Amino acid sequence: MSELTFYTHPMSRGRVVRWMLEEIGVPYTVETMQFGPEMKIPEYLAINPMGKVPAIKHGNTVVTEVAAICAYLADQFPEKNLAPPPHSMERGPYYRWLFFMAGPFEMATSALAYGWKIDSSNVQAVGCGRVEDSVNTLEKVLGQSPYICGDHFTAADVLVSSYLWWETMQKNIPQNEVFQDYIKRTENRPAAQRANELDDALAEQMSAAMV
């Protein structure tokens, strides 16, 4: 098995990747990065020129961006059944919702969080369109089945649930019954709970080391 290294900070989107790593259940090494200059050193910029976390290195393969990492890991470990088979009918929706979250949904919720102006003057030019359309689209699909791609939990649910949990906690989007039921169902998975425990403990260690 190729060595798997995880570059992260416990108060970052790395928490999403940590959950995915716990779902696949294979050994990995954690490289904890501090925000600021440490993420801009040449050694790490060789991993991610953006100087951001998360990132993974799997053997000689480097992957950055949360949705890409989740999709990559699901494909590398197909025995974990975290992605629909390549030629199945569910594969299209799986890709759709992975990249919907990374694109329109994250842009829409960022607009809500930071008060970006999206109106009739620019709505056709931005990827999320009207902000409420992104939120309502997600609510509609989650009201139709237990998971984002139907009856089976996939890597797409790791991304959807993580982003939904954060945005509802921040009150950027409504804490309606559909979202709350879905978050409860997914966040109660043993891998999600292990991931949170690991990252919470790491955050405490980092805080104590700075005192």
CATH number at residue 52: 3.40.30.10
Residue 206 domain-assigned (yes or no)? no
| pLDDT of 182 over the 70 cut | yes
DSSP 31-60: EE--TTGGGGSHHHHTT-TT--S-EEEETT
Cα–Cα distance measured from residue 109 to residue 130, given in angstroms and rounded to the nearest whole number: 11
Query: Residue 31: what are its φ and ψ, rounded to 5°?
Result: -110, 105
pLDDT score, position 147:
97
CA 78 to chain centre: 19
pLDDT digits (tens, 9 = 90+) for 54-88: 999 999 999 999 999 999 999 999 999 999 999 99
Number of domains in the chain: 2
pLDDT of 51 higher than 80: yes
**Can you give the pLDDT at residue 130?**
82
User: Which tokens is 116 given?
Assistant: 């970006």
pLDDT of residue 1: 65
* pTM of the complete model beyond 0.85: yes
Residue 115's contacts (CB-CB under 8 Å, 6 or more residues apart) are none
Does residue 75 fall inside a structural domain? yes
Better-scored residue on pLDDT, 117 or 179: 179
**What mean pLDDT is predicted for residues 176-189?**
97
pLDDT at 128: 79
* 138 within some domain: yes
Q: Cβ atoms within 10 A of the Cβ of 90, count?
A: 16
pLDDT at res. 2:
80
Asked if 106 and 185 sit in the same domain, the reply is yes
- In a domain? residue 143: yes
Q: Domain boundary at 48, 81, 114, which? A: 81
Q: Is the pLDDT of residue 131 over 90?
A: no
pLDDT above 70: residue 154: yes
One domain, residues 72 and 99: no
Are residues 117 and 71 part of one domain? no
Structural domain range at position 112: 91-190
- What's the mean per-residue pLDDT of the chain? 94
pLDDT category, 211, cuts 50, 70, 90? low
How far apart CA 63 and CA 155 sit, in angstroms, is 15
Residue 12 has pLDDT above 90, yes or no: yes
pLDDT tens digits for 139-150?
999 999 999 999
Q: How far apart are CA 104 and CA 156, in angstroms?
A: 15
Lookup: tokens for 71:
């999709």
Question: Which pLDDT band holds residue 127 (cuts at 50, 70, 90)?
Answer: confident
User: What are 17's two structure tokens?
Assistant: 């990747």
Edge-to-edge strands, sheet with 61-64: 29-32, 4-8, 55-58, 61-64
* Residue in the structure block whose two tokens are 């709350």: 180
Under the banding of pLDDT at 50, 70 and 90, the label for residue 125 is confident
Neighbours of 151 (CB within 10 A): 8
